[in-house]
Amino acid sequence: MNFQKLIAILTKSEDRLFDDIVGYDHIKKLFRMVLQSDSTTHILLTGPPASAKTMFLTSLLQHLKRPYFVDGGNTTKAGMIEYLFENQPRYLLVDEIDKLPPKHQTLLLNLMETGIVSETKYGKTREAKLKTSVFAACNNAIKLTSPLLSRFFVVEFAPYAYHQFYEITLRLLVNQEKIAPNDC
């Protein structure tokens, strides 16, 4: 039995987790395998704009228990630390992780490497051991620090072809905007 058939058998699913995403079946299978596992796994989705990376993250946000979604361009280390301590999410979803300044990336590095989140400030010290998987997306991983990048399983996306993009648009109009299929 080859590896592809084994993955197909292990990951058959009737859920609606990635219904709006066209193609990328191997990535859907990867996520399903990771989500069935009890271990922490870190996945970085990288590729051109409009290739469904954010759609993967938002689908996970809608279907997982205890997720936390952040936009790397509008997130501070202090804000993330506070949320992690208060809510201890099982899944941290970081869109546009390449927009996160390098000094803020150290928080993710420590979380992914050890599961520990710590904060030491004058008059305030705290530490927590978390079981958090990090799923992130970016257009180009070159702005990530090498140590952080090394903690991810990197998945490269190919751009959509026109017919795939057309199918995605129709699915979104029908499923999310509730437009009748005959009106599209």
Q: Which tokens is 174 given?
A: 């029908």
Q: What is the pLDDT along the chain (184 residues), one digit of tens a residue?
A: 444 544 444 444 446 888 878 889 999 999 999 999 989 999 999 999 988 999 999 999 999 999 999 999 999 889 999 999 999 999 999 999 999 999 889 999 999 999 999 999 898 899 999 999 999 999 999 999 999 999 999 999 988 788 887 888 888 788 777 787 777 6
Integer Cα distance of 96 and 110 in angstroms: 19
Q: How many CA atoms lie within 13 A of 34 on its CB side?
A: 20
Geometric angle at alpha carbon 135, from 14 and 42, rounded to 5°: 100
3-state secondary structure of 112: helix
Integer Cα distance of 118 and 161 in angstroms: 44
Task: Please give the backbone phi and psi of residue 17, each rounded to the nearest 5 degrees, phi first.
Answer: -55, -50
Q: What is the pTM of this model?
A: 0.83
Catalogue all structural domains in the chain, each as residue range(s) with its CATH number.
40-158 (3.40.50.300)
